[in-house]
C-alpha cells in the first residue's frame, strides 16, 4: 500500500468521514421529516374524519332542534320554541365554524372540544367541501323560513319539507366527504408503511457504508501504520545505537574542545588582565594628556594675553609712529614757521641790540655819586644843603638828571614796544600755523579760496616794508579733496619768496598777484606772480635744487621742499621770469578732485 503523505492522508480521511457523517445526518433528517410529515398528515386525516363526523352529528342536532322549535311554534309551546331555537342557534354556529374549518383550516368542534384543522390541500376534497357551502346556505335559509312561515303546522308544511330536504342533501354530501377522507387516510397510511419499511433498509445500508468506511479508511490504514511503526522501531533502534555512539564520540570531542576552551579562556583572562593594565595605563596617559592639554590651554591663554599685549604695544607703537609722522609733518611746518619767524627775529635782534645799547648808555653814575655825597653828609644834611655849594646845586642837578632819565625812559619804552610788537607778530604766525599743524597727511574737502586767503593773511602778517598791492584773481571753485597743509606750505613759501623779491626791488608799484583757476575739469592752477627782482633765466632751473638760494641768509630749502610737496600731491611747481628786475611767476598745478562727488 502506497501511504500518502501523513498530513494529506489525515485531511482526506477527515473529509471522507465528514462527508459520510453529513450524509448520515441528512438521511436521518430526511427520514425524520418524512415520518413527521406522514404523522401530521395521518393525524390531519384523522382529525378531518373526526371533524366530518362531528359536523354530520351537528347537522343532525341542528335539524332536530329546528324541528322541535317548529313543534313548539305549532303548539304555541313558546318555552319549547325558545329553548330549541337557542340550541339550534348554538348548533348552527358550530356547524358553520366546522364547515369553514374543514375548507379553510381553523378551529373545529369535535364532541365538546375544539381542535385545529389545517387547510385542506387535496383538490378533490376541497371541491367536495366547496360543494357543501351552498347546501349549508340552503339549510340556513330554509330554517329561517320555516320558523317565519305562516304555515305553522307540522304536516303538509312545504317550508318544513324544504328544510328537511336541504338538510338531507347536506348530510349526504358530508357522508361522501367522510368516505373521501377515509380513503385518503388509507393511502397516506400505506405510504407511511412503505417509508417505514424503507427506513431500516436505509439505516442498514448506512451502517454497511460506515463499516466499509471504517474498515477500509481506518482499520486497514491503522494496521499498515502499526506495521510501519514496528519497522520504524527497528530502524529507530539501529539509529539510536548509532546516535549513541556518535554522541559518545562527540562528547569526547567536546570534552577535548572544552579543555582547549578552558585554556583559551585562561589565555583570554590573562590577555584581558593585560588589556586592563593597558587600559589603566591609557587612563593615566589620558590624565597626563589632559594635564598637558590644560597646560597647553593655559599656555595658549598666556599666548593670547601676550598677543593682546603685543597687539596693544603695536597699536601704541603705531600711535607713536603716527605721532612721529605727524611730528615729521609738523617739522616741515616748523621749518616754515622758523623761516617766517626768523625774518621777524631779525627785527627783534635789531631792536634788542638797540635796547641793549641804550641801557648800557644809561646815565646812572651821577646818581650814585650824589648818593655817596649825601651819605658822607648824612651827619649834617641840613647844613650841607644850606651851607655847601654842592649841596645848594644838588636839587637843580637832580632836576636835570630826572629830565634826562625821563627822556631815556621814553626811548627805551619805544624800543621795548617795538620788541613786544615783534613778539606779538611771531605769536600770530605761530597761532596761524597751529591751526593747520593738527591736520596731517590727509586729503579732505578744502575750500581753495579760503586756503589762499589764509595764506595771504599769514604771509602779510609777517610784516615787511609794506607798499605791496595784493591782486586777487580767485575763481570760485567747488570744494576739492586735497591735503590742506601741503597746499598751504607751498603757497606760504611762494608768497614769502614773492615778498622777498618785492622787498629787494624796492621803490613804488610793488604788486603781488594771486590767481586761482581750473584750466581743465580735473586740474587746479594756483599762481603767485610778483613784479619783484625777477630771476635770471640761467637760474630758473636751479632754484628748485636743495640748498640753492639767491637770497641773503636763505637756506635753499623752501622751493626745493615745495616742489617735492607738489609732486607728492600729484602735481607740479614751475617758475617763470623774464629776467632780473622783470618779476617772476610761480605756477602750482595739481589734480582737481571735487569733494561732493
Partner 1 sequence: MGAGLKSLGIWGFLGGLVAATTIGVLWAGPKDERVADPSELVTGETPAAAARPVRMVMSGAFVSESGINLYESIAHYVARKNGITIEVTTGLAYSTINSMFETGAVQLGFICGLPYTVLRDMPTPRVELLAGPIMKYPRYGGRPVYFADLVVRSGSSYHSLEDLRGRTLVYNDERSHTGYNAPRHHLMEHGFASGFFGKIVRSGSHEESIRMVAAGEADASWVDSLVLDYDREKHLGRAGEMRVLESIGPMTVSPLVVSPDLPAELRAALRRTLLGMHQDPDGKRLLDAALIERFVPVEDAQYDGHRSMKNAAEEAGTVAIR
In the complex, what is the shortest distance from the CB of residue 9 to partner 1, in angstroms, rounded to a whole number?
11
Between 30 and 254, CB nearer to partner 1: 30
Between 74 and 168, CB nearer to partner 1: 74
Between 86 and 546, CB nearer to partner 1: 86
Alpha helices in 438-570 (DSSP H): 448-461, 484-505, 558-568
Between 78 and 398, CB nearer to partner 1: 78
Which residues contact residue 309 at a Cβ distance below 8 angstroms, ignoring those fewer than 6 apart? Answer: none
In the complex, what is the shortest distance from the CB of residue 116 to partner 1, in angstroms, rounded to a whole number?
6
> Quick one: which of 327, 303, 56, 329 has its CA closest to 174?
56
> What residues pair up with 525 in beta bridges, in sequence order?
517, 589
Within 13 Å and on the Cβ side, how many CA atoms surround 446? 23
In the complex, what is the shortest distance from the CB of residue 223 to partner 1, in angstroms, rounded to a whole number?
16
In the complex, what is the shortest distance from the CB of residue 67 to partner 1, in angstroms, rounded to a whole number?
14
Element counts in the chain: helices (H) and strands (E): 11, 9
Between 73 and 569, CB nearer to partner 1: 73
Between 24 and 350, CB nearer to partner 1: 24
Between 106 and 445, CB nearer to partner 1: 106
Between 143 and 495, CB nearer to partner 1: 143
Work out the number of other CB atoms within 10 angstroms of the CB of residue 53.
16
Between 149 and 577, CB nearer to partner 1: 149
Between 39 and 441, CB nearer to partner 1: 39
Angstrom distance (rounded) from CA 542 to CA 529? 19
User: Residue 216: is it exposed, middle or buried by C-beta count within 10 angstroms (0-12/13-18/19+)?
Assistant: exposed
CA angle in degrees (0–180, nearest 5) for 66-72-73: 90
Helix or strand or coil: residue 154? coil
Q: What is the DSSP string of 426-448?
A: HHHHHHHHHHHHT--S-EEEE-H
In the complex, what is the shortest distance from the CB of residue 82 to partner 1, in angstroms, rounded to a whole number?
5
In the complex, what is the shortest distance from the CB of residue 25 to partner 1, in angstroms, rounded to a whole number?
7
In the complex, what is the shortest distance from the CB of residue 132 to partner 1, in angstroms, rounded to a whole number?
19
Angstrom distance (rounded) from CA 164 to CA 63? 7
Q: What is the DSSP string of 202-251?
A: HHHHHHHHHHHHIIIIIIHHHHHHHHHHHHHHHHHHHHHHHHHHHHHHHH
In the complex, what is the shortest distance from the CB of residue 65 to partner 1, in angstroms, rounded to a whole number?
12
C-alpha cell recorded at residue 494: 611762494
In the complex, what is the shortest distance from the CB of residue 87 to partner 1, in angstroms, rounded to a whole number?
8
> Quick one: which of 533, 558, 532 has its CA closest to 469?
532
Which residues contact partner 1 by CB under 8 A? 10-11, 14, 17-18, 21, 24-25, 28-29, 31-33, 35-36, 39-40, 42-43, 47, 73, 76, 78-79, 81-82, 85-87, 89-90, 109-116, 140-141, 143-145, 147-150, 210, 214, 218
Residue with cell 340552503: 138
Work out the number of other CB atoms within 10 angstroms of the CB of residue 46.
14
Helix or strand or coil: residue 316? helix
Between 36 and 250, CB nearer to partner 1: 36
In the complex, what is the shortest distance from the CB of residue 188 to partner 1, in angstroms, rounded to a whole number?
12
Within 13 Å and on the Cβ side, how many CA atoms surround 50? 17
In the complex, what is the shortest distance from the CB of residue 56 to partner 1, in angstroms, rounded to a whole number?
18
Backbone angles phi, psi at 117, to 5 degrees: -110, 145
In the complex, what is the shortest distance from the CB of residue 147 to partner 1, in angstroms, rounded to a whole number?
5
Which residues contact residue 394 at a Cβ distance below 8 angstroms, ignoring those fewer than 6 apart? Answer: 370, 373, 385
Between 137 and 581, CB nearer to partner 1: 137
What is the DSSP code (8-state) at residue 461?
Answer: H
> What residues pair up with 523 in beta bridges, in sequence order?
520, 591
Within 13 Å and on the Cβ side, how many CA atoms surround 322? 11
> What residues pair up with 576 in beta bridges, in sequence order?
585
Amino acid at each position: 500500500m502506497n501511504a500518502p503523505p501523513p498530513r494529506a492522508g489525515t485531511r482526506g480521511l477527515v473529509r471522507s468521514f465528514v462527508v459520510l457523517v453529513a450524509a448520515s445526518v441528512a438521511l436521518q433528517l430526511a427520514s425524520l421529516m418524512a415520518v413527521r410529515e406522514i404523522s401530521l398528515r395521518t393525524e390531519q386525516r384523522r382529525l378531518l374524519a373526526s371533524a366530518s363526523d362531528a359536523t354530520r352529528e351537528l347537522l343532525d342536532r341542528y335539524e332536530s332542534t329546528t324541528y322541535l322549535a317548529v313543534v313548539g311554534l305549532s303548539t304555541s309551546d313558546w318555552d319549547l320554541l325558545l329553548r330549541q331555537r337557542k340550541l339550534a342557534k348554538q348548533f348552527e354556529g358550530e356547524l358553520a365554524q366546522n364547515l369553514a374549518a374543514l375548507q379553510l383550516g381553523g378551529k373545529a368542534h369535535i364532541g365538546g372540544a375544539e381542535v385545529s384543522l389545517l387547510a385542506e390541500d387535496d383538490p378533490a376534497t376541497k371541491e367536495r367541501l366547496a360543494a357543501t357551502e351552498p347546501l349549508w346556505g340552503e339549510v340556513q335559509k330554509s330554517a329561517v323560513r320555516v320558523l317565519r312561515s305562516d304555515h305553522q303546522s307540522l304536516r303538509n308544511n312545504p317550508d318544513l319539507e324544504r328544510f328537511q330536504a336541504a338538510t338531507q342533501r347536506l348530510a349526504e354530501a358530508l357522508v361522501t366527504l367522510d368516505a373521501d377522507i377515509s380513503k385518503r387516510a388509507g393511502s397516506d397510511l400505506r405510504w407511511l408503511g412503505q417509508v417505514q419499511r424503507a427506513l431500516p433498509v436505509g439505516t442498514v445500508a448506512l451502517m454497511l457504508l460506515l463499516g466499509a468506511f471504517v474498515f477500509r479508511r481506518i482499520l486497514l490504514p491503522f494496521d499498515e501504520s502499526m506495521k510501519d511503526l514496528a519497522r520504524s522501531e527497528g530502524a529507530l533502534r539501529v539509529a539510536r545505537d548509532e546516535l549513541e555512539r556518535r554522541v559518545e564520540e562527540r562528547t569526547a570531542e567536546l570534552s577535548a574542545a572544552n579543555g582547549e576552551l578552558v585554556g583559551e579562556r585562561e589565555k583570554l583572562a590573562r590577555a584581558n588582565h593585560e588589556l586592563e593594565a593597558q587600559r589603566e595605563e591609557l587612563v593615566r596617559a589620558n590624565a597626563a594628556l589632559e594635564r598637558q592639554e590644560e597646560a597647553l590651554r593655559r599656555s595658549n591663554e598666556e599666548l593670547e594675553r601676550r598677543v593682546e599685549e603685543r597687539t596693544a604695544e603695536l597699536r601704541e607703537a603705531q600711535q607713536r609712529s603716527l605721532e612721529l609722522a605727524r611730528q615729521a609733518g609738523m617739522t616741515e611746518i616748523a621749518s616754515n614757521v622758523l623761516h617766517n619767524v626768523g625774518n621777524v627775529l631779525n627785527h627783534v635782534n635789531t631792536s634788542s641790540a638797540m635796547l641793549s645799547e641804550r641801557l648800557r648808555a644809561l646815565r646812572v653814575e651821577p646818581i650814585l655819586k650824589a648818593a655817596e655825597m649825601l651819605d658822607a653828609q648824612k651827619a649834617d644834611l641840613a647844613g650841607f644843603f644850606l651851607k655847601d655849594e654842592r649841596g645848594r646845586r644838588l636839587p637843580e642837578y637832580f632836576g636835570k638828571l630826572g629830565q634826562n632819565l625821563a627822556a631815556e625812559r621814553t626811548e627805551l619804552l619805544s624800543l621795548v614796544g617795538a620788541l613786544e610788537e615783534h613778539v606779538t607778530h611771531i605769536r600770530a604766525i605761530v597761532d596761524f600755523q597751529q591751526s593747520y599743524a593738527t591736520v596731517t597727511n590727509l586729503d579732505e574737502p578744502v575750500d581753495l579760496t579760503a586756503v589762499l586767503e589764509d595764506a595771504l593773511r599769514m604771509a602779510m602778517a609777517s610784516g615787511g616794508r609794506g607798499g605791496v598791492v595784493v591782486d586777487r584773481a580767485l575763481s570760485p571753485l567747488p570744494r576739492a579733496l586735497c591735503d590742506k597743509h601741503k597746499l598751504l606750505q607751498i603757497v606760504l613759501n611762494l608768497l614769502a619768496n614773492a615778498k622777498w623779491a618785492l622787498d629787494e626791488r624796492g621803490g613804488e608799484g610793488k604788486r603781488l598777484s594771486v590767481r586761482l583757476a581750473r584750466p581743465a575739469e580735473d586740474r587746479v592752477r594756483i599762481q603767485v606772480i610778483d613784479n619783484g627782482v625777477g630771476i635770471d633765466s640761467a637760474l630758473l632751473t636751479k632754484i628748485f635744487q636743495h640748498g640753492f638760494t639767491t637770497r641773503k641768509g636763505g637756506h635753499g630749502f623752501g622751493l626745493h621742499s615745495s616742489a617735492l610737496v607738489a609732486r607728492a600731491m600729484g602735481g607740479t611747481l614751475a617758475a617763470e621770469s623774464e629776467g632780473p628786475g622783470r618779476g617772476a611767476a610761480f605756477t602750482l598745478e595739481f589734480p582737481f578732485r571735487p569733494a561732493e562727488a
